[in-house]
Amino acid sequence: MLRLLLVMLFFSFTHLSAPLASELNDAAASPVQDEGRVQKSSRLIGEAFFNIDDDFKGMALYPFEHPRETLFFLGGIGALVAADKPVTRYYQDKVEPIFNGYALKTPAAAKGLGLNGADSYLVLGIAGSYALGVAFNDEKSQKAALLAGKATAYSIMISHLLLKTITGRQRPVSNLRTATGDQPPFTTNPYAFGHFSKPRLGSFAGGSSMPSYHFTQYFAVARVYAEVYDNYLIPYGVAAALLASDIKGHRHWVSDMVAGALIGTVIGGVVADNAEDAATAPSTMFIPAYTGDQISLNFYHQF
């Protein structure tokens, strides 16, 4: 029942949230009134993926354009690392038990895709959001799904492949209070950095603790949906529900999770902001159209 509720909440939010406001906003922002399904989808794909260089530039320059926030975040993460052993021990003792037995089972539709648990719901939710957007010619639903997919790709590159490799931090044992039952590379030492390994896409234990990729990805996707729909409660609520599933399986220090959440928030914010800029910037597009009896290539220029 909970799994069904999460999926219904995600889908209903992406399609039914303030439909009249969505139509008015789409009409004002769209370069073409009364766009057909193919035209709108083609335009949104172009706006989402033809500004990748701006995304990387925005993420690379973020620390320099927001120095106070960056120093505050880095200082907070540093303080958490220093206090990670007692803080993470408290988290293991007091927070994780609250969610004992709460684990989302992988739906049948996702088993053939190599997805498991909460990840499968996130991917199916994004795919469903896009499918509903195309089916109902809804701009926000398509836009949010496309940007969420791009934010996920950036999360993999930045958090999983780059930063985990740079930090090389070992994961904590599952019970810091007793420190029993886990063999290396799991550790009780929060300062176990520098255990470097080659970047890899799959999950691995050694030197892969900081930052948490899942927190990066889920917060990046939540930020995208929050920006597109101007609603923070539902996207972050769904993200929290997914992250709480199989909570013991995350095996991170608290600072890893906080770092991942902050990085994901930046990624999602940059992606959403750049997409908004691309939608309002002057542009020229060639968009294919199919009317049922003929195929055409239409030229549009937005001033």
pLDDT tens digit sequence for 216-226: 999 999 999 99
- Tokens found for residue 4: 């069904």
pLDDT digits (tens, 9 = 90+) for 177-200: 998 778 899 999 999 999 998 898
pLDDT digits (tens, 9 = 90+) for 208-250: 999 999 999 999 999 999 999 999 999 999 999 999 999 988 8
* Residue 137, phi-psi category: left (phi > 0), alpha (psi -120 to 50), beta (remainder): left
Query: What values do phi and psi take at 75, rounded to 5?
Result: -65, -40
What is the spatial distance between Cα 274 and Cα 57, in angstroms, rounded to a whole number? 10
What is the spatial distance between Cα 82 and Cα 84, in angstroms, rounded to a whole number? 6
